[in-house]
């Protein structure tokens, strides 16, 4: 006896669903760039739109497509392949894929040149529209340090300083997170490092206090850096975890493009 496919049954309510899919699925991936490949674990969100006259989608098809890329390279080519197959198999007009992961990068200390690993929370968001045009956005979250210019100006000794987090979401043609991170790090009073020897600590501390910045300064400088490097951005946000207050402060600049 042939079973009825409930999901293919017509729906009489006449309501289109903009996004339906799966989220929170994790698997091993390799973020592929021109100069290096970064193994990591990706957390996936995959979705399509659903026409008003169709009851549901076949969720299992998402996993049939995406699991073929376990431990495989994730770059523009593979993202486009995934989106096209999802769109075709689901019979949808649009497909969306987002991957969150930790990006690992080797950094050398400024004076000793000793190498250590830094980690950055990142996200790749992509969409294939009804015209088969693909758009890809990357989001990086970059820890920096900041020294308060006002505190430095009014204090006889020292100034309050804190760790901040700069978030930048930009539209890209090719994925190059390392380059983007290195550029946006410059917006803070000073970069952060995992491993520092005494001479590195001296350099970093003095450089930080010689370059005091408000949270507003960091956001504005990040925009200048992105524009100088010809990035088109959706949002820049900086949050400072204040060291002498029980609250945080933030500044946000919205770009002219959206995902």
Q: What is the pLDDT of residue 152?
A: 87
Residue 9 has what pLDDT? 77
Q: What is the mean pLDDT of residues 230-250?
A: 90
Structure confidence by residue, pLDDT tens digits, 153-175? 898 888 888 899 999 999 999 99
Position 258 scores a pLDDT of: 72
pLDDT of 80 strictly over 80: yes
Q: What are 253's strand-pairing partners?
A: 236
CATH of segment(s) 12-254: 3.10.270.10
**pLDDT at residue 2, as a whole number:** 66
Determine the Cα–Cα distance for residues 182 and 105; give it in Å rounded to an integer. Answer: 10
**CA dihedral of 174, 178, 182, 184, whole degrees rounded to 10:** 50
b/e 73-100 (16+ beta carbons within 10 angstroms → b)? ebbbebbbebbebbbebbebebbbbbbb
124 has a pLDDT exceeding 90: yes
Which of 55-59, 116-120, 126-130, 228-232 is predicted least confidently?
55-59
Mean pLDDT of 84-112: 96
Residue-wise pLDDT for 159-215, tens only, equals 888 899 999 999 999 999 999 999 999 999 999 999 999 999 999 999 999 999 999
Q: What is the DSSP track for 125-177? A: EEEE-TT--EEEEEEEEEEEEEE-HHHHHH-SS---EEEEEEEEEEEESS--H
125-153 per-position pLDDT tens digit: 999 999 999 999 999 999 999 998 999 88
pLDDT(86) > 90:
yes
β-pairing verdict for 115-128 and 95-108 = antiparallel
**Would you state the pLDDT for residue 1?**
58
Quick one: pLDDT at residue 248? 85
Mean pLDDT of 107-128: 97
Collect all residues with Cβ–Cβ distance below 8 Å to 244 and sequence separation of at least 6: 151, 160
Could you tell me the two tokens for 108? Answer: 């050398």
């Amino acid at each position: 006896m042939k079973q009825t496919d409930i999901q293919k049954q017509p729906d009489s309510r006449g309501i289109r669903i903009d996004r339906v899919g799966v989220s929170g699925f994790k698997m091993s991936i390799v973020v592929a760039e021109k100069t290096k490949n970064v193994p990591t674990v990706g957390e996936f969100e995959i979705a399509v739109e659903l026409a008003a006259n169709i009851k549901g989608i076949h969720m299992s098809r998402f996993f049939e497509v995406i699991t073929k890329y376990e431990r495989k390279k994730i770059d523009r080519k593979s993202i486009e392949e995934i989106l096209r197959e999802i769109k075709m198999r689901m019979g949808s007009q649009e497909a969306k894929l987002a991957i969150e992961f930790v990006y690992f990068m080797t950094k050398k200390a400024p004076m000793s040149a000793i190498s250590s690993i830094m980690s950055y929370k990142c996200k790749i968001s992509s969409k294939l529209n009804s015209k088969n045009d693909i758009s890809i956005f990357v989001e990086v979250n970059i820890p920096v340090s900041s020294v308060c210019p006002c505190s430095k100006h009014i204090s006889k000794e020292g100034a309050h300083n804190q760790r901040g987090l700069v978030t930048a979401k930009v539209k890209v043609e090719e994925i190059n997170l390392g380059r983007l991170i290195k550029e946006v790090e410059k917006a803070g009073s000073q970069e952060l490092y995992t491993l520092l020897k005494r001479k590195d600590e001296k350099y970093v501390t003095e450089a930080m206090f010689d370059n005091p910045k408000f949270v507003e300064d960091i956001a504005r400088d990040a925009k200048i850096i992105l524009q100088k490097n010809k990035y088109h951005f959706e949002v820049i946000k900086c949050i400072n975890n204040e060291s002498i207050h029980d609250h945080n402060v933030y500044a946000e600049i919205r770009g002219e493009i959206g995902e």
